[in-house]
Amino acid sequence: MFSVLLTLISLIMQTDYKLISHILDKKNIGSNLEIRGWLKTKRDSKGISFLNINDGSCLAGIQVIADSIVLNNYQSLRADLTTGCSLRVLGRLVKSPAKGQEVELKAEEITIYGPAPATDYPLQKKRHSFEFLRSISHLRPRTNTLSAMTRIRSRLAQSIHDFFRNHDFYQIHTPVITTSDCEGAGEMFTVTSLDLSKPDGEHNPLDYSHDFFGCPASLTVSGQLEAEAYALALGRVYTFGPTFRAENSHTSRHLAEFWMVEPEMSFFDLDNDMDLAENLIKFLVKAVFEQCREDLDFFCRFIDKSLRKKLNAVLKNDFTRISYGEAVNLLLKSRRNFAYPVAWGIDLQAEHERFLAEEYFKGPVIVFAYPKSIKPFYMRLNDDNKTVAAMDVLLPGIGEIIGGSQREERLEQLTARMAECAINTADYEWYLDLRRYGTVPHAGFGLGFERLIQFVTGLTNIRDVIPFPRTPGRAEISSGKAEG
């Protein structure tokens, strides 16, 4: 009875609030609709205004035609109808006579929710530099580039869960606060509840026994070690969450807070690990083609003209797999003048990675068997005693997107490696237990989510593929007024 009444009421009212992405279709022509969003542009011509309104549900937005009758309805409407104002439009969807869109909305009523004074609103209709947009990170999602990036980012986060679900993985929520330093690199943010403004006396910040956890704690640099514990119980697990590194790198591929996807698999060796990494990247690129068509088109047109070719190359070909030794030989043979000279034993730098992926192989490359001296303690020692079962996936334009390895599952080898790396085993007794009780061969990797978004959008700076980037010296959100 109640629902019949509701249907009746909605029939009488005959307007439906809809997301713009849901109405941009010829089949809706003739419907009375209501849309809500923000005004992107306004163009006046012969007593008619053409408004482009976007509600974020898609890139295109909708063209609204407002004639003088509608515009004269409200005193303030003409003045308030400026770029950035929020509004509600009721009208009838009609076939668009103009090129560029199939349908448009003929307004019958317009209401402003909130104005955005043209004298003040920083996002006027013009192309702004990415740098300026970073200074107004609270407003930049209203630009085409950032909104398209955000939709792709959201879809891909979902696709990551789809991929692992398809492959029988369980998601593990590993802790953000940790007391184990996964990389042993000492680039961690300390977590404390001590009052750092009173460094002496009772609250001496160096006395961690007075601290919240009674010991030093930090923000995690990786969920891997904890994921290993769950892989050794549930078989195949992954964690997908924020990770933190206090490294002082001012590059276009490093953030202090970034998101990492870390699968960990029991009974996987390094080849299985590489196969999974390759399949994951292909799956995610395919998802962008299939689910983000409009936004991808935008990036191909305005950000990187070679993007489609680059993404297609990932889908079509097997990733090249070469050992670290082969990679070093190729780099030496290239006779390039690298800023970092090449020799067996060096850590590959961005310039080396990019030479391999961009110039030499012109596609994704997986480099495996790195010298143990440049890799963390938990990677499995190869029989040569010099290299470990590590692998990095390198992408053109990005360099390293994935770092992974088969883990050292043998207690004796693991403790020997820890001693070599001057790691105090007392801090890792729980980790060693995983080798003492029911150890199995296992492997995993970490994929940098932002680097993936960089790859599929062609955006060259990692600060533009995360909503609120954190980099050295920058975590606050500014109003942009000073910089504008």
* Residues forming the site for ligand ATP (CB under 6 A): 183, 245, 254-255, 258, 260, 400-403, 446, 448, 450-451
Nearer to Mn ion, 51 or 393 (CB): 393
Cα separation, 292 vs 206, whole angstroms: 50
CB of 94 to ligand ATP, least distance (A): 47
Nearer to ligand ATP, 82 or 405 (CB): 405
Binding partner selected for residue 90 from ligand ATP, Mn ion, none, CB under the kind-specific 5 to 8 Å limit: none
Instruction: Name residues contacting Mn ion, limited to 311-370 (CB under 5 A).
Output: none
CB of 129 to ligand ATP, least distance (A): 22
CB of 375 to Mn ion, least distance (A): 8
Binding partner selected for residue 451 from ligand ATP, Mn ion, none, CB under the kind-specific 5 to 8 Å limit: ligand ATP
Cα separation, 114 vs 72, whole angstroms: 18
CA 79 to chain centre: 39
Binding partner selected for residue 84 from ligand ATP, Mn ion, none, CB under the kind-specific 5 to 8 Å limit: none
CB of 84 to ligand ATP, least distance (A): 32
Number of residues that bind Mn ion (CB under 5 A): 1
> What is the end-to-end Cα distance of the chain in Å, rounded?
57
Binding partner selected for residue 366 from ligand ATP, Mn ion, none, CB under the kind-specific 5 to 8 Å limit: none
CA 176 to chain centre: 18
Tokens coding 343 = 């020799």
CB of 286 to Mn ion, least distance (A): 25
Cα separation, 136 vs 484, whole angstroms: 9
Nearer to ligand ATP, 89 or 260 (CB): 260
Nearer to ligand ATP, 83 or 243 (CB): 243
Tell how strand 442-448 and strand 257-266 pair up: antiparallel
Amino acid at 227: A
Cα separation, 284 vs 159, whole angstroms: 7
What does the DSSP 8-state code read for residue 139?
A: T
Nearer to ligand ATP, 396 or 403 (CB): 403
CB of 318 to ligand ATP, least distance (A): 20
Contact characters 236-275, Mn ion, x per CB under 5 A: ----------------------------------------
Are residues 447 and 159 in contact, defined by beta-carbon separation less than 8 angstroms?
A: no
Nearer to ligand ATP, 61 or 399 (CB): 399
Which of 61, 115, 403, 448 contacts Mn ion by CB under 5 A? 403
Burial status of residue 105 (CB atoms within 10 A of its CB: 0-12, 13-18, 19 or more): buried
CB of 425 to ligand ATP, least distance (A): 22
Nearer to ligand ATP, 194 or 401 (CB): 401
Please give the C-alpha separations between residue 364 and each of 3, 294, 399, 462, in angstroms, as whole numbers.
Answer: 56, 25, 9, 19
Instruction: Name residues contacting Mn ion, limited to 7-36 (CB under 5 A).
Output: none
CB of 273 to ligand ATP, least distance (A): 13
Nearer to ligand ATP, 100 or 341 (CB): 341
CB-closest chain residue to ligand ATP? 448
Nearer to ligand ATP, 77 or 379 (CB): 379
Where residue 165 falls (left for φ over 0; alpha for ψ -120 to 50; beta otherwise) is alpha
* Contact partners, residue 124, CB within 8 Å, separation at least 6: 83, 118
CB of 365 to ligand ATP, least distance (A): 13
What does the DSSP 8-state code read for residue 159?
A: H
Closest CA to 263 of 230, 287, 296, 312: 230
Cα separation, 193 vs 211, whole angstroms: 6
Kindly give the residue spans of alpha helices, DSSP state H, lying in 318-473.
324-333, 350-354, 411-420, 429-436, 449-457
Binding partner selected for residue 162 from Mn ion, ligand ATP, none, CB under the kind-specific 5 to 8 Å limit: none
Which secondary-structure segment (H or E) carries 241? strand 236-244
Residues at the contact surface with Mn ion, assessed by CB under 5 A: 403
